[in-house]
C-alpha cells in the first residue's frame, strides 16, 4: 500500500462506491451521504486540517453503469479569447468551429 492510500476514504452507497483520494495526514478527508426529499443522493465531503494551509489536490470518483446513456450535457463553450479574427478593421470575428453543448 502506498503511503498516500492510507488517507484515502471510501463510502458505499448502493450501487456506488465513492472514493476520495489525495488526502494526507495534514489534511484528512471524510465522506457521508444523505438522501433528499426527491430521492436525490447527496454526498458530503469534509476536509480538515489542524493548521491553516492550502489543501492538496483531491478527487472524488465513482463509476456509473453505461446503460441507456447516449448523450452528455455540460456548459462547456468556446472562450472568446480563442476567437480567430479574420483580417482587421471592419471584418467580423469568426468562430472557426461551432461547438454544440
3-state secondary structure of 39: coil
**Closest approach of another protein to the CB of residue 4, in Å:** 15
Closer Cβ to another protein, 1 or 99, answer by number: 99
**Closest approach of another protein to the CB of residue 12, in Å:** 14
- The C-alpha cell that represents 91 in the structure block: 471584418
Closer Cβ to another protein, 12 or 83, answer by number: 83
3-state secondary structure of 76: coil
Chain residues that interact with another protein, rule: CB under 8 A: 16, 38-81, 83, 85, 88-93, 95, 98, 100-101
**Closest approach of another protein to the CB of residue 9, in Å:** 14
Asked whether 85 and 93 are in contact (CB, 8 A), the reply is yes
Could you tell me the CA-to-CA distances from 56 to 5, 35, 53, 66 in Å, in that order?
A: 14, 28, 9, 31
Amino acid at each position: 500500500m502506498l503511503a498516500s492510500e492510507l488517507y484515502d476514504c471510501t463510502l458505499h452507497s448502493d450501487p456506488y462506491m465513492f472514493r476520495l483520494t489525495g488526502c494526507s495526514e495534514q489534511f484528512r478527508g471524510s465522506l457521508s451521504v444523505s438522501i433528499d426529499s426527491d430521492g436525490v443522493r447527496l454526498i458530503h465531503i469534509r476536509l480538515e486540517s489542524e493548521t491553516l494551509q492550502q489543501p492538496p489536490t483531491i478527487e472524488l470518483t465513482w463509476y456509473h453503469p453505461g446503460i441507456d446513456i447516449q448523450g452528455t450535457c455540460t456548459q462547456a463553450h468556446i472562450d472568446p479569447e480563442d476567437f480567430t479574427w479574420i483580417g482587421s478593421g471592419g471584418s467580423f470575428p469568426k468562430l472557426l468551429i461551432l461547438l454544440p453543448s
